[in-house]
Amino acid sequence: MKKTSLKGLDMTLYSEVLSNGLEIYMLPYANKKNYYVTFVSKYGSDVIEYIDVTKKNHKPPLGVAHFLEHKLFEEENGIDPFSFYAKSGTDCNACTTYDNTQYMFWGNKNFNKNLEYLLKFVTHPYFTSENVKKEKGIITEEIKMYNDNPDYKLEMKLRECLYKNHPRRIDIAGTVSEVNKITKDDLYDCYNSFYIPSNMFILITGNFDPDIALEIVRNELDSNSNKKIPKIKEVVEPVKVNKEKEIIKANIEIPKVAIGLKVSTKNIELKDFDLSLYLNMLSTILFGDSSLFKERVRDKKILNGFYTGWEHLDDISTFYITAASIKPEELINEVMNEFKNVKIDEESFNRIKKVWIAKEIRIVDDLEYMADNIIYDIIKYDKIISNKIDIIKSMKFKVLKDLIKKIDFNNISIVIMNKK
């Protein structure tokens, strides 16, 4: 097994790649009683068209990745994973995102049997016309429920305004009409194309024996053949936002605001983790809890909740702000003022670096958080960033100033949600 030291954290990550291309990552803890296990396919709703190994083009209905996640929880023998894990006092779940699908369980006993079961149920799909038809009703109700949620409706409308072509403008679960088109053949085609060892990995954190875990995985999956990953059709997304402003209505008491800044990163020298760090630094200085912006809008009493975050695609990074405000236009003006008059200072820059370093050390104790970080590295960068603390320490104020000069702060979409 390969050993990778997570610098500054006193942790060792063990990894192995099986002959079929399956990657296994293991982060054992000596001081924990519990464990957290995730089986991941690098397949999410971003894949809307692909060419398989036979050179056949596929354009399945929207929502297949999410539908697959649901259907893998139904087995031919009638036993479902929730029932299996509940018997041992273990929890399980799954989730589909834009770029991956995860199946996980966590607990503090029966590790070996629980791991064996996870590997079996994810790798043995059971789709029939009948159970697919039944699931359509469940998923379409789920879609309708989310569409009635004001916060979700606000986010999706902002995505539609930001993106013109990219699947990030589409609900992960798809649409009601598209889901109703899904057949068992669609599911098997996508499953057989993307749920293959070379497009999947396993991550285990917590209290377990790496040698035993590796042996279990080998016994269950090493015989699977090494298939080639299909070619995913590239989507060309313009740098310019799709729509600058839209006003919508919903059953809410306090108006809501969503603002998106679309940044072209094609000509920026910073890449991958370094780029995300500096962009996060910029947004933290401008809109973080200790920012002058936050102090100002709080004093004016025009803020009721505030969330920010970045989303990184190949050549585009998007910054999201969502908030509730009794004076939405005034709040928007405050945000726009920050974008038009970007002010950063080296003292805040260095203070935030220290906070981030302390956070990296502190989160080591959280198995799920550590797992999420490692999964993000693998999906986004195709590698483990093992020296994050060193990279944070090496951040330079001048690099941030140079980055700011390359950002078009006018490339913005705004969505206002008012009371019906």
What CATH number has the domain bearing residue 311? 3.30.830.10
Residue 148 lies in a domain: yes
* Span 54-62, average pLDDT: 94
360 catalytic per annotation: no
| Structural domain that includes position 334 | 245-419
The answer to whether residue 237 is domain-embedded is no
Among 168, 197, 232, the domain-final residue is: 232
Does residue 111 belong to any structural domain of this protein? Answer: yes
Q: Residue 328 is inside which H or E element, if any?
A: helix 328-340
Number of H helices, E strands in the chain: 15, 15
Tell me, yes or no, whether 135 and 9 share the same domain: yes
Question: Is residue 86 domain-shared with residue 180, that is, in the same domain?
Answer: yes
Reported as a single tens digit per residue, the pLDDT across 340-362 is: 999 999 999 999 999 999 999 99
Q: pLDDT, tens digit, for every residue of 165-202?
A: 999 999 999 999 999 999 999 999 999 999 999 999 99
Residues 207 and 269 in one domain: no
Over residues 81-136, the pLDDT tens digits come to 999 999 989 999 999 999 999 999 999 999 999 999 999 999 999 999 999 999 99
Q: Which of 72, 112, 76 is nearest to 96 (CA)?
A: 72
Q: Are residues 33 and 181 in the same domain?
A: yes
Best CA proximity match to 62, nearest among 187, 231, 175, 183: 175
Residue 239 lies in a domain: no
- Provide the number of structural domains found in the chain: 2
| Residue-level pLDDT at 224 | 64
| Residue 195 and residue 271 in one domain | no
Report pLDDT for 179: 97
Domain co-membership, 219 together with 254? no
Q: Within a domain: residue 295?
A: yes
- Catalytic residue (choose from 23, 49, 69, 246): 69
Can you give the pLDDT at residue 76?
83
Provide the pLDDT confidence category of residue 78 given band limits of 50, 70 and 90: confident
Among 181, 197, 232, residue at a domain's last position = 232
Tell whether 218 and 300 lie within a shared domain: no
The overall average pLDDT reported for the chain is 95
Whether the pLDDT of residue 302 is over 90: the answer is yes
Q: What is the model's pTM?
A: 0.94
Find all residues with CB under 8 Å of 37, minimum gap 6, and list them.
104, 105, 106, 114, 115, 118, 202, 203, 204, 205
With H, G, I as helix, E, B as strand and everything else as coil, classify residue 378.
helix
Do 224 and 249 share a domain, yes or no?
A: no
The label of the residue with tokens 């962009």 reads: 279
- Is 238 within a domain? no
Q: Which of 232, 264, 292 is the last residue of a domain?
A: 232
- Do 254 and 224 belong to one domain? no
Same domain, 203 and 81: yes
The 3-state DSSP class for residue 120 equals helix
User: Do residues 185 and 107 share a domain?
Assistant: yes
pLDDT digits (tens, 9 = 90+) for 203-219: 999 999 999 999 999 99
270 & 411 share domain:
yes
Q: Is residue 224 situated within a structural domain?
A: yes
